[in-house]
Each structure stands twice: as structure tokens, then as C-alpha cells.
Chain A
């Protein structure tokens, strides 16, 4: 049985796994899971990942969730070029440091902006209160500042001279608020330059393909049927409002 990767390219961690697998010519079957349609709650997908989240992989009998773990697994299994997850002690530590930090920082803050700007107004039918939006923006700006000042500094990539899992995970998260119409690169030339380097390193065609859905998010969300998305209401009330 071929490696199956369960993905929805609206999701940031799905994009990093997708790009990594395609870039490294890892053979896999793309199994589409539409998150906004609630397909992650289906019975079949529950057998792949009881946490009901994407991405997830099934490699023979072995199922695995969590994009970071998936990429570490694929890098090792398919012996991808060393720069993705360097073997040098300190370089690897730099990558691991970023992969750890990002969960409760840029991922959280970028996701929130996407929900506050696009999904919540659609599903709840109201704009988010300004103070909440301001607070969320402040958090995102704080995280972006750390990406620039701590993780990148004057290096071309997070771990040094070459692209790694850290840059891949970083870029897909930063693209999420961009998909909601917030151009975080506009006032950040250093970050924009890094984005271009990552885009080139990954392959511009692949990068753009992976981000096609999220960059069309504003239009897609506008055309969605809000009545079919009410299943997300309790989550929204709990997490964001």
C-alpha cells in the first residue's frame, strides 16, 4: 500500500507536509480532507487520526499525526537532503527550537487572524469587536518580530545558509493571515526577501500551487454556505470570543 497523506491545503501544517513531500519526490497518494466541510469528523478518518486533525499519514499499518513529526519521519525514511533537517548539532538545534516555539506563537497568532478576519464574520454573521482584533494583531506583530529578530537575524534562512523544515513551517504559517487579506510582508522587506528565498528554494511553481487555495480564501469563504458551517460555532465561541 502506498503512503497516504491526508491533506487540506487550507491548513498550514498540511501545506508544509505537501510541499516537503512533493519537493523531495516522495511517492504518496493525496487523500483530500475538506476541513471546512467537517470531513475530519467522519468515521473513516477517525481510524487514521482519532484527534480529527490534518495532516495525517498512513504508511502501511503505521499512522502518524502532527506535521512536525510527519516531516521528521519522512526526512529520515526517505533520506532527504541533509539541509532539511541538518545533522550538525547546533544547526539541528536551531531548527528544533523554531519547530517547538512556533506552535504557541506564529501558528496560534496567524491562525487567529485568519479566523477573526474571514471565518468568524462568515459563520457568526458579525464582525469581530475591534479590541479583540487589535489584540490579535498585536500578538501577530510580536511573533513576526521574533521571527525576524531572533530566528532569522541576518541569516538567509533560519538554520543558516540553506533552507530547512523550520523555514517551511514558518512560511506556511505566515501565509495564513496573508490569505485573509492582511499583507504582513508589505512593511517588512527583510521578511519579504526571506519569503522569496524560501519560495525559490522550494520551487516557485510548487510553492504557488500549494498556496493557491489559501490565497483565494477571501473569495472562497464569501461563497461558502454559512448554514453548513454552524458546527464550528461552539469552537469559535470558546476559542475566540
Chain B
């Protein structure tokens, strides 16, 4: 199995973490997003959508982290304990409900804050206008509040007392804005406690390893310049604001 990954990307991290944690054998195929490798000819043969993560299992190619995670759980029952995607009807529904909701909520708002804080200023040379930044931060805050009040509630994990794919996807998305220096856990003891529980299940070392690149986004400026990506990113960023 080949996993096409760039650990700057949240969905790449969830796929990487599940595979490593459960011992699923795979080859790490690096796709450097900061160098635009997703648009190269080679990767184009893997995925026309030009996004990571992507999985190649023999001849079978699959995109979308949620689908890849579900596939890995199903294909390797001897490696992946059942709690990752519980078979109990209601517990599984809670996992699925989160996995569906997160695309346009945690993922969208966390990514936007990441782009506004770490990418846009580097590419355009100017900070994002205060009004837009405040609006993005407010959206993230509301999403985080909803995450806690609806998805976490008083349980240890999203689906109950055991960790699942939902927590994995949640944590990697929440870590994205954290990587820019925005500590969303500050003043949030319940959320912090959940994070520690998830980290413990994954393994501190593995968790930190997966998040190493995102926690060092100061390097992005130089990386983009070295890779000649600034001109490429500018129109994309303009579109984000229109």
C-alpha cells in the first residue's frame, strides 16, 4: 500500500496516524504541497483531483481521508481494533455524524485561520485585513464551542468512552490553527483534557512526530520562496477573498 502524503495537511495526518498506530504496512510517498508537487505529472496519474492524501493499494486508488480511513479499518480488522469505527449502530452513527459535519465546520474554519495567519501574509506581503481575520477567528471559535457542546459533551471521546476515527480527524484539524501560534486550548480545560486523552491513545511520540512540520510554519515563507511558489499562490489567494 502506498500513501501519498504531506504532513502539513490535516487529512494526511489522520491517515498517517491511523496507519502508523495500528501497524498497517505502507510506503510513504511524499507529495510536497509547498512545491506544488500535487500538480505534477506523476501525481496526476494517481489523482486527477490533485489533492492529498491519496492511497494506492495494488491497482486500487482512493482519495478522501475519511474514505481511506474507513477502507483501512475494513481491510485490516486484525490490526485495527473495533473501537476505531464501532460496529454498534448508534456509536457508529455518532462517528459518521462528526465525520460528515467536520468538512464544512472544523476543517473549513481551521484551514481558513491557518491560511490567513501563516500563508496569505507570506505570499502577499501584507496581513489579512482585520475585519476578515476577526470574522475567521469568530467562525473558528463558534465551531470549537459547538464541537465541545455537541460532539464531546461529557464523554471521554466523541463516540463515548473509546477513541475513534472521529477524534483522530478532529484533533488533526484543530492542530492546524495551533501550528500558527493560536492556542485554541488556552482557557479550555475540557478540550485540553480530551486532547491529552487522544494523544495518549495515539502515542505522544507519534503524535508529535506527525505534527512536527505544522508546528514549524515559520519556515513556510522561505519554503515558498525557494520553491518559486509565490506567484503560483497569489491568484489562488485572491480567489479566497472574492
Q: Is the CB of B104 within 8 A of A101?
A: no
User: Does residue A69 face the partner (Cβ distance < 8 Å to B)?
Assistant: yes
User: Does residue B149 face the partner (Cβ distance < 8 Å to A)?
Assistant: yes
Q: Is the CB of B146 within 8 A of A108?
A: no
User: Does residue A204 face the partner (Cβ distance < 8 Å to B)?
Assistant: no
Q: Is the CB of A69 within 8 A of B100?
A: yes
Q: Is the CB of B64 within 8 A of A101?
A: yes
Contacts of A65 in B (CB 8 A): 97, 101
Name the interface residues of B168-226: CB closer than 8 Å to any CB of A: none
The residue on B at minimum CB distance from A97 is: B67
Contacts of A77 in B (CB 8 A): 89
Q: Is the CB of A69 within 8 A of B67?
A: no
Q: Pick out which of these stretches binds chain B: A22-30, A87-95, A207-215.
A: A87-95
Given contacts A64-B97, A69-B97, A146-B49, contact A93 B67 (CB under 8 A): yes
Name the interface residues of B90-149: CB closer than 8 Å to any CB of A: 90, 92-93, 96-97, 99-101, 103-104, 107-108, 135, 146, 149
User: Does residue B34 face the partner (Cβ distance < 8 Å to A)?
Assistant: no
Instruction: Give the interface size class of chain B.
Output: 20 to 34
Q: In the bound complex, what is the Cα–Cα distance between A101 and B48 (angstroms)?
A: 13
Q: In the bound complex, what is the Cα–Cα distance between A87 and B157 (angstroms)?
A: 27
The residue on B at minimum CB distance from A93 is: B71
Contacts of A64 in B (CB 8 A): 93, 97
Q: Is the CB of A76 within 8 A of B242?
A: no
Given contacts A89-B74, A96-B70, contact A66 B242 (CB under 8 A): no
Chain B nearest Cβ from A87, distance in angstroms: 9
Q: In the bound complex, what is the Cα–Cα distance between A103 and B62 (angstroms)?
A: 17
Contacts of B62 in A (CB 8 A): 93, 97
Q: Is the CB of A100 within 8 A of B150?
A: no
Q: Is the CB of B67 within 8 A of A90?
A: no
Name the interface residues of A61-114: CB closer than 8 Å to any CB of B: 62, 64-69, 72-73, 76-77, 89-90, 92-93, 96-97, 99-101, 103-104, 108
Contacts of A193 in B (CB 8 A): none
Q: Is the CB of B63 within 8 A of A73?
A: no
The residue on A at minimum CB distance from B47 is: A150
Chain B nearest Cβ from A179, distance in angstroms: 21
User: Does residue B45 face the partner (Cβ distance < 8 Å to A)?
Assistant: no
Q: In the bound complex, what is the Cα–Cα distance between A64 and B95 (angstroms)?
A: 11
User: Does residue B29 face the partner (Cβ distance < 8 Å to A)?
Assistant: no
A-B contacts at CB below 8 angstroms, number: 84
Given contacts A51-B101, A64-B93, contact A132 B242 (CB under 8 A): yes
Q: In the bound complex, what is the Cα–Cα distance between A96 and B55 (angstroms)?
A: 14
A120-154: CB near B (< 8 Å → 1, else 0) gives: 00000000000110010000000000100110000
Name the interface residues of A149-169: CB closer than 8 Å to any CB of B: 149-150
Cross-chain contact of A96 among B66, B89, B104 (Cβ < 8 A) = B66
Chain A nearest Cβ from B209, distance in angstroms: 26
Q: Is the CB of B93 within 8 A of A73?
A: yes
Contacts of A47 in B (CB 8 A): none
Contacts of A103 in B (CB 8 A): 100, 103-104
Contacts of A135 in B (CB 8 A): 239, 242
Contacts of A101 in B (CB 8 A): 49, 63-64
Chain B nearest Cβ from A13, distance in angstroms: 9
Chain B nearest Cβ from A222, distance in angstroms: 28
Q: Is the CB of B48 within 8 A of A150?
A: yes
The residue on A at minimum CB distance from B51 is: A101
Q: In the bound complex, what is the Cα–Cα distance between A101 and B70 (angstroms)?
A: 14
Contacts of B146 in A (CB 8 A): 50-51
Q: In the bound complex, what is the Cα–Cα distance between A100 and B98 (angstroms)?
A: 12
Q: Is the CB of B48 within 8 A of A93?
A: no
Chain A nearest Cβ from B137, distance in angstroms: 13
Contacts of B90 in A (CB 8 A): 62
Q: Return the 7 tightest CB-CB contacts between A and B, nearest first.
A: A69-B96, A103-B103, A96-B67, A100-B64, A66-B100, A69-B97, A97-B67
Q: Besides A73-B92, A92-B70, A135-B239, 13 other CB < 8 A contacts?
A: A50-B146, A51-B146, A64-B93, A69-B97, A73-B93, A89-B71, A93-B60, A93-B67, A96-B67, A101-B64, A103-B104, A104-B107, A146-B49
Q: Enumerate 7 A-B pairs (CB-CB under 8 Å) in ascending A order.
A: A69-B100, A72-B92, A73-B92, A89-B71, A100-B64, A101-B49, A135-B242
Chain B residues near A (Cβ < 8 Å): 48-49, 60, 62-67, 70-71, 74-75, 89-90, 92-93, 96-97, 99-101, 103-104, 107-108, 135, 146, 149-150, 239, 242
